[in-house]
Amino acid sequence: MKVFIASDHAGFLLKEYLKPQVDMVDLGTDGPISCDYPVFAKKLISHVAEDEKNRGVLICSTGIGMSIAANRNRKIRAALCCNEKMAEMSRCHNDANVIIFGASIIEDINALECLRIFLKTEFEKGRHSRRLALI
């Protein structure tokens, strides 16, 4: 499994906090100068969509923009998570392959814990596979 991370300018500091905590490939942005979140969402989802084992982390100010952009790709199941329960359920019930954080919504340490849960939680399959097939 490869883990990719990307952010816009609003998520840059949280991205920089998370990177050394987990082995990830940084796809940008490279600083806090204003940029367009869809560019970085598109870059990340292309990498995650290449292999079903890959995972991604997207960060913007609220997480809403990145969520909308990422979920336009049918191979992506991106979940905006604000707490540990959401991170766990995004994986075990929804087989999410991208976790999204709103840097102005979540504390750094909470985002890190959510990310760790997201990366270690397995998809339960069963009835959840049937539900995903309906989407």
Specify the pTM.
Answer: 0.96
- Per-residue pLDDT at 109: 98
Residue pair 88/55 in contact by the 8 Å Cβ criterion: no
Q: pLDDT tens for residues 14-44?
A: 999 999 999 999 999 999 999 999 999 999 9
- Per-residue pLDDT at 132: 82
Q: pLDDT tens for residues 37-89?
A: 999 999 999 999 999 999 999 999 999 999 999 999 999 999 999 999 999 99
Domain count, the chain: 1
93 counts as catalytic: yes
Cα angle vertex 97, ends 94, 100, to 5°? 95
69: Cα within 13 Å, side-chain hemisphere: 24
- Nearest 10 degrees: Cα torsion 41, 43, 49, 50: -170
- Per-residue pLDDT at 66: 98
Does pLDDT of 134 surpass 90? no
Q: What is the CATH number of the domain that holds 125?
A: 3.40.1400.10
- Per-residue pLDDT at 30: 96
Q: pLDDT tens for residues 100-109?
A: 999 999 999 9
Domain that holds residue 102: 3-133
Name the residue with tokens 């952009």. 69
Which residue among the candidates 9, 47, 93, 128 is catalytic per the annotation?
93
- Per-residue pLDDT at 10: 98
